[in-house]
Amino acid sequence: MKVLALYSIKGGVGKTAAAVNLAHTAAEEGVRTLLLDLDAQGAASFYFRVRARRKSTVDRLLEDRDRVQRAIRATDYEHLDILPAHESFRRLERALDAVKKSRSRLARMLKPQRREYDLVVIDCPPTLTLVAEAVFRAADLVLVPVVPTTLSERTLDMLRREFKEQGLPRERLRAFFSLVDRRKRLHRDMLEDLPRRSKVAFCRSPIPVSSDIERMGLGREPVTRFAPQSAGALAVLELWWEVRRALGMRD
């Protein structure tokens, strides 16, 4: 089982959209996938029309493996299940802090899922705290959406240093361009230059600004489902192939 985390300290950069679409694409290839919606906003759960059980609070999930089992729900798609966000996930930070071995907690919580899933995709809330540290520990690959603006370069570099300080291998960190608008001069230049300058490896497939991806919130379906031939969906597919290789999963 591999663990893929979609992470950025910034909001609105396309983490959730990527998590939902990548998880759906993997499942379509027969990869048994669990999407873990850690963001209390529950955007990923919303896309899959799933609500959490009332009793699946964050404290209980961290304490009790059986609770985790019972919190998981089937999506409408074969091979794809979700652990939906619960409003109590707002307290995730405090709840983690309250248990022993906080940093490895998430990794241990996911371990029993090995039997049922080949891939876990984590949709993260935008924080750089204990929650992020726990996610970094659990993940085989931390995938960071980068919107091509000048500011994002600094943010990415901060994250790289954070990774280094925590003693985590740099190979586990990877960026991809998100919300790319090729009509903008700045975007085109950044796409050229940033991967060369940056000490973080970049995926070659950027995700363009796409009205289809934007519309996911209306139809509440992954773009790879309702518009599989759209530019947005095809970009997701190419990104998935790169991610799959980076995770060392079979073609």
Partner 1 sequence: MPQTTFLVPSDLDGESVAAALAGDETLEAEPSREYRVRFFDTFDWRLHRAGRTLQRHDGSWQLIDLDRDAVVAEDPARPGPWPRFAWDLDPDGELRRPLGKLMKMRALLHLVTAGCVRERWVVRNRDAKIILRLALTGFTPEKPAVDTRLRVLEIHPLRGYERPARLADEAATRLGLAPMTGSLLDELLVTVGLEPRGYTSKFRVDMAPTLSAIEAFAVIGRHLLHTIRQNESGLRADIDTEFLHDFRVAIRRQRSAFNHFRGVVDPAALAPYAERLADLGRRTGPLRDLDVYLLDRERYRSLIPAELRDGLEPRFERLAAERGRELAQLRRTLGSAEYRDLMRGWSDFLADPPPGGLAAISILDLARKRLRKRHARVLRDGRAIGPDSPDEALHRLRIQCKKLRYLLEFTASVFPAGEVDDLISHLKGLQDNLGEFNDLSVQRADLRSALASPSGRGQARVQEAAALGGLLTALHARHHEVRDEFAAAFADFADPAVTRHFATLCGKEATGS
Ligand X SMILES: Nc1ncnc2c1ncn2[C@@H]1O[C@H](COP(=O)(O)OP(=O)(O)O)[C@@H](O)[C@H]1O
- Name the site residues for ligand X (rule: CB under 6 A): 8, 11-17, 43, 179, 207, 209-210, 213-214, 217, 232
- Answer for which of 30, 49, 87, 170 binds partner 1 (CB under 8 A) is 49
Instruction: Kindly state the greatest CA–CA separation across the chain.
Output: 52
Q: What angle do CA 10, 15, 20 make, to 5 degrees?
A: 160
Residue 58: C-alpha distances to residues 125, 182, 205 (Å): 14, 41, 35
- Answer for which of 16, 57, 155, 224 binds Mg ion (CB under 5 A) is 16
Told to check if 8 binds Mg ion by CB under 5 A, we report no
Helix/strand/coil for 224: helix
Instruction: Pick the stretch among 42-50, 51-59, 171-179, 197-205 that binds Mg ion (CB under 5 A).
Output: 42-50
Closest distance to ligand X from the beta carbon of 41 (Å): 8
User: What does the radius of gyration of the chain's CA atoms come to, in whole angstroms?
Assistant: 17
Told to check if 48 binds partner 1 by CB under 8 A, we report yes
- DSSP, residue by residue, 110-123: HGGGGGT-SEEEEE
Judge contact between 4 and 247, C-beta under 8 A: yes
Told to check if 65 binds partner 1 by CB under 8 A, we report no
Count of residues that interact with Mg ion, criterion CB under 5 A: 4
Q: What angle do CA 231, 178, 166 make, to 5 degrees?
A: 145
The phi, psi pair for 123, rounded to 5°, reads -95, 115
Told to check if 51 binds partner 1 by CB under 8 A, we report yes
Closest distance to ligand X from the beta carbon of 144 (Å): 10
In this complex, which beta carbon is closest to partner 1, that of residue 40 or of residue 72?
72
Closest distance to partner 1 from the beta carbon of 74 (Å): 4
Closest distance to partner 1 from the beta carbon of 71 (Å): 8
Distance CA 51, CA 192 (A): 41
Catalog residues that contact Mg ion under the rule CB under 5 A: 15-16, 39, 43
User: Contact positions toward partner 1, by CB under 8 A?
Assistant: 48-51, 53, 70-74, 76, 81, 220
